Structure 1
Amino acid sequence: MLFKKPQSDPAKKPMSVADTNPQAPGEIQAGATTFIDIVAPAAFVNTANYVQLNNYFIKTFFVYTYPRYLNTNWLSPLINLDATMDISMHIYPVSTPDLMRQLKRRQTNLESSLSINREKGMVRDPELETAISDIDALRDTLQKGESKIFHYSLYFTLYSRTKDELETLSNQLESTLGGLLIYTKQTYLQMEQGFNASLPLHLDELQILRNLDTASLSTTFPFNSATLTSSHGILYGLNRHNNSLILFDRFDLENANSTIFASSGSGKSFLAKLEVIRYLMLGTDVIVVDPENEYKNLAEALGGSFISISLNSDKRINPFDLPTITAGETAETVLRSNVSMLTGLIGLMTGGLTPDESNILDKALFEVYSLKDITTDPNSFKNPAPTLTDLEQVLQNITGAENLIKRLQKYLTGSYAGLFTKPTNFNLENGLVVFSIRDLEEGLRPIAMYTILSYIWAKIRKTLRRRLLVIDEAWVMMQHEDSAKFVHMLAKRARKYYLGLTIISQDVEDFLNSPQGRSVLNNSAMQILLKQSTAAIEKIKEVFNLTESEKFLLLESDVGEGLFFAGKNHVAVKIIASYTEEQIITTDPRQLLEAQQGQNSAQG
């Protein structure tokens, strides 16, 4: 609170209902309810070192000394302190002519002392010389009108439910200020006056004043906004609070995982593609799982690989392929991990497994690898991997596997035959690889995404390189426990392999209602919330602990606007792209139609 010097008016008194009737008898006036009666607390206890207001214990501190120089925004650590606290400033302008006369007299006295010391042959006094220099510089700035002097008082009032907590907060406050060479004292025996000084009453009975010039006073500006600007990284957009650039490298965070939540048409895919372009320029490899062919133009424009996974495509992934054994792992560990992954995949294919079927499948998977001479010997991993067809042949010889075989038939000989039964016939060699599953029917998409991610994970573990893995419409994976667990595993282990996972979803409820969805969010150091629908906003507010103003900001944002969380900081963001970037990544039907018409006109 910034207050001018109070002007006392003894004629003023509390307003009451009786004041509206000057003829009211004294008895009525005595019984009238005043405004003070309404706002007054039920109890107020004043002691030597705190006051008690209802159920709160309150203590006020005043600043009595400042360092020689004050840095801009030095109040920020106090404003961000995790404590219930009022910070009150009282600022009184000082008459410049009067001050100039005082400074002149003071400088004359100091220079006389300095001259006397020199005549006596005394050792030079740096403190005296500094004081003269400071006064001389101040007189110059005052004379030129470049600065003014103000009397300034600063009070900190802490609130707590218990005395012990109040003492802890008091120590924390004094320690924080002491680190800035700013020293405080509590308003001992004057706690009520200190409390009043922190209220919006224009009342400073303590008058603990210090002199600050304009430059020093400007450093006490009590409002600050977070910035997310680094010396390296990529540009995400503008900070809507202060128009600073949001520029940093997500790989500098505790992990490089990111989640993007937004309603349909709010710019989530636009943002993801913009990030892909800019990280590619930094030499980062990018792999995308694309459910709607939104990244096809991007892959073609940037010379990337576009791999369509469908029944009609010639590209195939064998889910039985084994990953490379990395440092710290054994062949047995890798084999068991892959068997566990395949159990989850086949559970998705068959609509779930009973405990007996899970045991049968576990035994069959180890046996099918053994038939291909793949064992716990690392050299055996070079042998060709089995396929789903090989697994069927093993299951045929196991009692109790009949029902499981029936449910697998549509992937072996039925309508989905050939999709998961052939060897892998491509490699991830390009810096940008996009896997498209648009041409798969809805029921196959979770299975295809699981298979693709398993293949990607195996390749990522083979060579350590900085990579981004983008999973668009990730809510599809959260619908099934096995696939949700797999995404959760990726989020937890990505950092070890220099991988940043980007999760994109518009169905916030579906994603966060899964326990694994919450865990993925907790394992993402960067989160971006763009424009939200009224149906999802309450869930978003609860999960991200948003304020009411942040909630309404998300409801009222335009396309490409929202909140940007990075580590412990978050700001309001406006995503920005260059004209060329926008032409490459836009999915706006109007812009695409205009571009197509422009091409047709040029060809005609």
Structure 2
Amino acid sequence: MILLGRFFQKAKPIEEPDIENSVTDESFLLDIFSPDSIEEGANYLRLGGNYVRTLAVSHFSNQVEAGFLEKLHTMSSNVSVIHHIEPTPSHEMVKALNRAVIEYKTRLQEPRLRPVDQIKLENDLQDAEILLQNLIDGSSEMFVEHMLVHIQADSLDKLNSITHQIKTQMSKSIKLLTPHFRMLEAFQSVLPVRSHKIPEMTYRNFDSESISSLFPFDECEIVSEKGIIKGKNLKTNSIVLVDHDELLNRNEVVIATSGGGKSTYLFGDIMRRWMQGTTIRIVDPKGEFGEKARKLGGEWIKISPMNDNVINPFEIMNATIATDEAGLPLEASLLHQKISRLKTMFTLMYKDLKEQQVAMALLEKVLVEVYRDKGITWDTNFKSKQSSDYPIMKDLYGKIDLLMHTEEQYTPLAGFYQVLYPYVEGSYSKAFNGITNVDLSNDLIVFDLFDLRNEGDLQQVAMYNILTFLWDDVTMDKKKVHQIFVDEAHILSDPKNPLAMEFLASMYKLIRSFSGGVTSATQQVGDFLSAVEGSRNYGEAVILNSVTKLYLPMVQEEMNSIRERTSESFSEEEERLLVIQDADKHQNAGKGIYVVGSKKVHLQVELTPAELKLWDYAWYERKYGV
């Protein structure tokens, strides 16, 4: 317990050291960064225990397009691409191009010109004329460009292997030279000191359009200066680091098949956000996170017919009406908001209620009376109200019974009254009928719904009740950063009654205004996307309002559902990574596509040793042999 606490110490704000003040001796600083020895070979350098080689790019293919360096940027080896770029006056290039155009036209008039030479000359002439026209119009500028490729490895054999791989893969696009006996000068040219020692080997002229093709817009990296580590980039072996504070919102969605690595990812993300000071709330239908949270000092709340943890659906937690980013109220009154949510919850309990317009209207009248009996009206000031001041499920049950026996107009509520019995006096009563006794002061709380797994629609009702409770908690304090994790979010989705999923979608839309975010996860994407009302798909709305998304291994049917019902698209390569057969499930677990806005990376979900030890000790023992 103590050991785990040390592993998961939460971050405390500290002042970053000022290097300029802490290090006054310049030579001392250089000693820290410098290798203990340098050995220069004919075509490599040994820097301490590392071997490095710098290659000079002496020539580019005439036909270059954006992304032609993608293979170079996405190599998993330690390879860096360095550019020295300087603007240069265009008038000399205009003169040179003018001469070149005349020469090309002259050569094209030669009587015995071979077809292959004619085609090449025509292409060169066309390129020269286009560039000349752009320079004369002022729509393009000229640059001197020098490109170097720097390779590092822990052995000379590995260095040679990587060098051969690069030269082979890039041979159609660029010509690479090894600066024999000038490797130290080449190495100095890649250092960030604005000094190029071998310019004669790399000198090339580029116009602005051509030089743009060199920039790594294709580079598949997502690395912020700070943030949450999401895993390892499968293509480059670098970490994927996301700063949610800098994004449009903190919302995320995780989609996978069973055994695809969803829960492992959620646990790692929960731990890392929590350690950075985020208040964490977890809705846990599978019962996977409670015990782990308790070991870390968190709160494990089991919602079950067998214990006394109660979240009173009738309690109004907020004292003021929440407003959106524009400062406009989200509801007419707090009581109006609560009654609207209660009516939604009751349609989840009693499926036929949603279509019974008269019964719904009568139910609202009863709810107003139940609150009035407790001294609560549309104009009540809730600042001084305690949990014990609100009605409970038993009060509604008794009020309906009384009204049905005294006023005939309330007989349409007879069916709902029968359905309400288990929640008041029957097997569900401990979870729903009572005063709220859940403490939200802990910054790591798990709401465990595992004991409700075999209780029909009860999990859906409980999950919705918890989410309305947590939403009120979030909106009461804008200073705290909250992240609400909703595992198995498809439980909320029902094609016949989309109201619960609509509430989740509204949380995704509004929670940004309250310094919070929601992470939903599902292993049944078809069900998740089934809550549709008119042209509105609330599962898709959740995905659309998530800046970050993680797609883990899934079967073809699930991929088809995503493609057909959402705006998300995947390349053939991405689909090959995601779509699996059952036999490949274990091998591909934790490998997926992580999306941040318009950027995508191939991700491997990984836990630190301390996280893995807490999450799955048997797995930890197998992996680390302890």
The answer, yes or no, to whether TM exceeds 0.5 is yes
- 1:10-53 Cα offsets, whole Å, 9 max, x none, are 6679xxxxxxxxxxxxxxxxxxxxxxxxxxxxxxxxxxx9xxxx
Against the structure 1 CA distance between its residues 454 and 554, is the aligned structure 2 distance closer, same or farther, given a 3 Å change threshold?
same
Cα offset, 1:477, TM superposition = 0.5
- 1:197-232 Cα offsets, whole Å, 9 max, x none, are xxxxxxxxxxxxxxxxxxxx8983677223221111
> In structure 2, what is the equivalent of residue 53 of structure 1?
none
> What SS is found at the alignment partner of 1:418?
helix
> In structure 2, what is the equivalent of residue 338 of structure 1?
338
Against the structure 1 CA distance between its residues 535 and 331, is the aligned structure 2 distance closer, same or farther, given a 3 Å change threshold?
closer
Against the structure 1 CA distance between its residues 62 and 355, is the aligned structure 2 distance closer, same or farther, given a 3 Å change threshold?
farther
1:418 partnered with 2:430: yes
**Contact between 2:306 and 2:430, CA under 8 Å: does it hold in 1?**
no
* Alignment TM-score, normalising by the size of structure 1: 0.64
1:447 partnered with 2:469: no
Cα offset, 1:528, TM superposition = 0.6
Structure 2 distance, partners of 1:260, 1:93, is 43
> In structure 1, what is the equivalent of residue 369 of structure 2?
367
- 1:482-532 Cα offsets, whole Å, 9 max, x none, are 211221221121111111100000111111232111111111111110112
Structure 2 distance, partners of 1:71, 1:291, is 58
- 1:342-399 Cα offsets, whole Å, 9 max, x none, are 0011111112311111101111111110110012334356161001111122222152
Cα offset, 1:591, TM superposition = 2.8
Counterpart of 1:344, as a letter, is T
> What SS is found at the alignment partner of 2:359?
helix
**Contact between 1:72 and 1:220, CA under 8 Å: does it hold in 2?**
no
1:376 partnered with 2:370: no
> What SS is found at the alignment partner of 1:243?
coil
Which of 290, 313, 318 in structure 1 is aligned with 2:312?
318
Which of 429, 450, 456 in structure 2 is aligned with 1:438?
450
> In structure 1, what is the equivalent of residue 241 of structure 2?
247
> In structure 2, what is the equivalent of residue 2 of structure 1?
61
1:548 partnered with 2:557: no
Structure 2 distance, partners of 1:425, 1:414, is 20
Listed as ranges, the matches of 1:120-269 within 5 Å are 141=198, 147-150=201-204, 182=208, 220=214, 224-269=218-263
Unaligned 5+ runs, structure 1: 14-48, 50-58, 74-88, 97-136, 155-181, 185-216, 599-604
**Contact between 1:4 and 1:91, CA under 8 Å: does it hold in 2?**
no
> In structure 2, what is the equivalent of residue 271 of structure 1?
265
> In structure 2, what is the equivalent of residue 533 of structure 1?
555
Cα offset, 1:244, TM superposition = 3.2
Unaligned 5+ runs, structure 2: 1-59, 65-103, 117-125, 149-171, 180-194, 324-328, 405-409, 532-536, 581-586
Against the structure 1 CA distance between its residues 463 and 358, is the aligned structure 2 distance closer, same or farther, given a 3 Å change threshold?
same
Against the structure 1 CA distance between its residues 12 and 429, is the aligned structure 2 distance closer, same or farther, given a 3 Å change threshold?
same
> In structure 1, what is the equivalent of residue 22 of structure 2?
none
Equivalent residue pairs, number = 433
> In structure 2, what is the equivalent of residue 586 of structure 1?
616
Counterpart of 2:226, as a letter, is H
> What SS is found at the alignment partner of 2:528?
helix
How many percent of aligned residue pairs carry the same amino acid?
Answer: 28
- 1:121-179 Cα offsets, whole Å, 9 max, x none, are xxxxxxxxxxxxxxxx99x735xxx62434x677xxxxxxxxxxxxxxxxxxxxxxxxx
> In structure 2, what is the equivalent of residue 18 of structure 1?
none
Structure 1 distance, partners of 2:143, 2:215, is 18
Listed as ranges, the matches of 1:561-576 within 5 Å are 561-576=591-606
**Contact between 2:509 and 2:545, CA under 8 Å: does it hold in 1?**
yes
Counterpart of 1:569, as a letter, is K
Structure 2 distance, partners of 1:92, 1:564, is 34
Structure 2 distance, partners of 1:568, 1:246, is 15
1:390 partnered with 2:390: no
Structure 2 distance, partners of 1:62, 1:232, is 46
**Contact between 1:63 and 1:183, CA under 8 Å: does it hold in 2?**
no
Counterpart of 2:464, as a letter, is Y
> What SS is found at the alignment partner of 2:603?
strand
Against the structure 1 CA distance between its residues 362 and 218, is the aligned structure 2 distance closer, same or farther, given a 3 Å change threshold?
closer
> What SS is found at the alignment partner of 2:232?
strand
Structure 1 distance, partners of 2:554, 2:147, is 36
Structure 1 distance, partners of 2:468, 2:305, is 19
**Contact between 1:70 and 1:219, CA under 8 Å: does it hold in 2?**
no
Cα offset, 1:92, TM superposition = 9.4
Against the structure 1 CA distance between its residues 70 and 422, is the aligned structure 2 distance closer, same or farther, given a 3 Å change threshold?
farther
* Alignment TM-score, normalising by the size of structure 2: 0.62
Counterpart of 1:578, as a letter, is T
Structure 2 distance, partners of 1:528, 1:4, is 36
Structure 2 distance, partners of 1:344, 1:61, is 69
Structure 2 distance, partners of 1:61, 1:541, is 46
